[in-house]
Amino acid sequence: QRLAGIRSLARYIAIKAPEYTEWYGSLKSIPQRKSSAPIMNYLEKDEMDALLAAPDITTIQGRRDHTILLFLYNTGARADEVAHVKIGDLTLNRFDRRESSSVVLHGKGNKRRHCPIWPETARLLRLLIGDRQPDEAVFINREHHPLTR
């Protein structure tokens, strides 16, 4: 990031004072320092169970939050993907059908991916969305507006 800031300043200087163009070119040739991405850790089953048990499911917000956590655990979705899931993105089949439930997630770069949903997640989603319309967000706040990231 520091190198990018220095390069940006050097570019500005080179535009304002052309005699520094060569100097700017030499700065551009400095390679970026590559750092390896940190290894992502995961939660153990007992840690995930504790996380899922945290919301107070006797309240509307608690049931919504529990469903969000289970949905995240189930699909591996990003927070932004969860915030933008519409009811129409869900295919929630009943337990008596052989087809599985699924969701289409809209991710970074306008990429779409299809994820299966566990029966328990589908059951909680059905309870959460009730009879709302397909163009509405699945996860809404107290004022019935879509959640934001």
User: What pTM did the predictor assign?
Assistant: 0.72
Could you tell me the domains of the chain? 1-35 (no CATH), 45-129 (1.10.443.10)
Query: Stretch 75-83: mean pLDDT, rounded?
Result: 94
At CA 122, angle to CA 116 and CA 125, rounded to 5?
125
Q: Are 101 and 121 in contact (CB under 8 A)?
A: yes
Which of 6-15, 29-38, 118-127 has the lowest average pLDDT? 29-38
Q: Are 40 and 32 in contact (CB under 8 A)?
A: no
pLDDT of 68 higher than 90: yes
Q: pLDDT by residue (tens digit) across 114-135?
A: 999 999 999 999 999 999 999 9
Q: What is the pLDDT of residue 96?
A: 58
Q: pLDDT by residue (tens digit) across 80-117?
A: 999 999 999 999 987 656 678 999 999 888 899 999 99
pLDDT of 42 higher than 70: yes
Give the full edge-to-edge strand order of the sheet including 90-91: 90-91, 101-106, 112-117
144 Cα distance to chain centroid:
20
Position of tokens 């153990």? Answer: 44
If one compares 31 and 10, the residue with the highest pLDDT of the two is 10
**Which residues neighbour 40 within 8 Å (Cβ) at sequence distance 6 or greater?**
none
Q: Are 102 and 57 in contact (CB under 8 A)?
A: no
